[in-house]
Amino acid sequence: MTQPLKIDHSFAEMLRHLIEARGGSQTTLAAGTGIAESTISEVLSGRRGLNLKHVVALARYFHVGPAVFIGDGTKP
């Protein structure tokens, strides 16, 4: 089982921004990435982190580098 990666609220805000910038919704993101809509909701609310599979799917969907969704280890 893949371990969750560290996430802080800035990553949730980045994800929210990317969804809005694309004119999408949690539903369209779920359909486009294969990530459950409930998981996306939990990530956006800060209740859940991302695992590597999620990071890869989101990076591909938004055409950004995975680093956008992964902390650099400087935040607790």
Residue ranges and CATH numbers for the domains of the chain are 9-69 (1.10.260.40)
d(CA 51, CA 30): 15
Residues in the chain: 76
Residue 12's pLDDT band, with cuts at 50, 70 and 90, is confident
Round the average pLDDT of the chain to a whole number and report it.
Answer: 85
What are 20-44's pLDDT values in tens digits? 999 999 999 999 999 999 999 999 9
Q: What does the pLDDT read at residue 33? A: 97
pTM of the model: 0.79
Residue 4's pLDDT band, with cuts at 50, 70 and 90, is low
End-to-end CA distance of the chain: 23
Contacts of 55 (CB under 8 A, 6+ apart): 5, 66, 69, 70
